[in-house]
Structure 1
């Protein structure tokens, strides 16, 4: 319990006696009980107040360094992803559309969906926030159960709208594979990026 910042004297308390942050720390302690090398973290701070989130994120970073842990982090809060991750994969309807080093994906995103997600992150500077452009997605979200060929993002893709008819046909009928430059570690699933 000390490892995750909890008082061992509280071991006999009932769950309702702990705060949300303490309960999250208990969950982390339980996961560490088997001495794992990899932890799957599904939205580890999404239900916590922002003030508590920082403590849990810092704890995860400390544990990662101290115990040589690897994390598989699932999160919708991209600020958390950037802070704690070395590599990131962006998924759309269950498929990877972009993957690479966290700095490459955040600073040089190539897939239109990744660009839309990143443009939605608020910037604390009001002057910059007011003047920046956002990528607003339009169009219908396809059914996640459809198994049609082609790019699953095409119906919402801002790039698709600018393509000539022949290229649009490729998007609609040919599923894009992840690709990058020679020896690239930053991969994108888009025919035209």
Structure 2
């Protein structure tokens, strides 16, 4: 069985979409894949409750308890490795990871970003797309590399930017597409 470990910091809507897809598409039987654990850097992350309700192991590792990013990432990798992951999935994990952590999971670390990469790396992507006059926005699933938001693209979804859009309305439309493409990208990656 190939294990997936999902990292979250908040509500976990992408994590929930992945878990739902794994169940509905019978990843365990079809692909030999299961979501083994959900780990958060915040004890109050709502996504942990969703994972527990699905009988998925959950862990909390508070980054504030560590003196440096590297120390946290070393402890996080040790925790993740207990689940022998075939894939580590960043699903709203709001931490920039150290190069050593990224190298440890090279080729096995995915992220979803709310823009059509390579456009609008970093934060505030929806407002930046609106401000730039973009006609389209979207989301990108990519492999993580040491450079932020530039790893190889696994899947993308495109949504129109409407004249009345605010950052919030655009974000909601993009998020609905994230919930479709992230599970699809994971299934495609792990079916190889």
Q: Say which one has the larger Rg.
A: 1
TM-score by length of 1: 0.31
TM-score by length of 2: 0.31
Greater strand proportion: 2
